[in-house]
Amino acid sequence: MLGVEADTDTGRSALGEIGNIMVSSYVGALATMTGFELDLRPPESTRDMLGAVVASVLAAHSDAHELALVLDSELEVAGEACTLSFMLLPTPAGVAELLQRIGLGD
């Protein structure tokens, strides 16, 4: 990844920045699609077992989530294939609104 080892301070910082850019892009696209105004708080990043990371995020926002929106993407970066998954956890109130705005509501 950019010739930097992921497990160094520089690597972690780069990972955070790339994550921030990617998330901003996805959120921006979502905002355009839905007409929502979406504000981003400062990003945080971590690198660990998938289950540990996802479970910890879910536990911290425990009142909210029964629905997750997952976008799996395949990118090509400088000739190399790269996959990423973007997971959005809307609040219960937000779900109906979101689905309606992207044409999946009842």
Q: What residue ranges bind another protein (CB under 8 A)?
A: 44-46, 48-53, 55-60, 62
Q: Is the distance from CB of 26 to CB of 86 less than 8 angstroms?
A: yes
Helix axes 92-101, 9-34, angle to 10 degrees: 60
Q: Which CB, 43 or 105, lies closer to another protein?
A: 43
State the nearest-atom distance from the C-beta of 79 to another protein, in Å: 28
State the nearest-atom distance from the C-beta of 67 to another protein, in Å: 16
Residue with tokens 């400088």: 78
State the nearest-atom distance from the C-beta of 13 to another protein, in Å: 13
How far does CA 85 lie from the centroid of its chain? 7
